[in-house]
Structure 1
């Protein structure tokens, strides 16, 4: 149940548009239980990895500490 435990401490979950449907539904379910926001990234997993500055694919991403960034404030419906 590591997925559920990580969602408990996250502030926001980003999911790429080509994330497998089963994984996407699991993430959305656990996010709903732990009251964490979910944002569907408008790009594939390669684009999300590049946006993070990584050289590998990222299909889902949990933001634990946003730091000085405005990523959570910039999304509609997020506080």
Structure 2
């Protein structure tokens, strides 16, 4: 039971931080614009929904690895991610270009299944 509450709390935390980024920061929505932001080295964090097609997901992860950008796998489908962004359409992936007023790029935000995305010993 505790793990269910904890995942719900982290999911709500991610949604609230995402709403703040949508209001105060800069972002791009969609597959093509995410790849463009990665190629231009403008993306700071990539968020991918869990039902993004595997080929697209692996391509985005590959570009992000080359650019040393964090990737967060959103624990919801593209409809949920679109709703969390405050949009009325589906969003399979988004790139945060400028986080705005909150430090979204902290290691506490970038947690997937309770383990960090990167190893701090390598950096």
Per the TM superposition, whether the score is higher than 0.5 is yes
SS in 1 for 2:63: helix
Give 1:21's aligned residue: 54
Which is higher, the Rg of structure 1 or of structure 2?
A: 2
Give the TM-score normalised by structure 1.
0.87
Counterparts of 1:1-79 in structure 2, within 5 Å, are 3=35, 5-7=36-38, 8-73=41-106, 74-75=108-109, 76=111, 77=116
**What TM-score comes out, normalization by structure 2 length?**
0.57
Gaps of 5+ in 2: 1-31, 118-123
Runs (4+) of structure 1 exceeding 3 A deviation are none
User: How many Å apart are 1:71 and its aligned residue?
Assistant: 2.7
Unaligned runs of 5+ in 1: none
| RMSD over equivalenced CA pairs, Å | 1.8
**Once the 2 structures are TM-superposed, how far is the Cα of residue 69 of structure 1 from its aligned partner?**
2.4
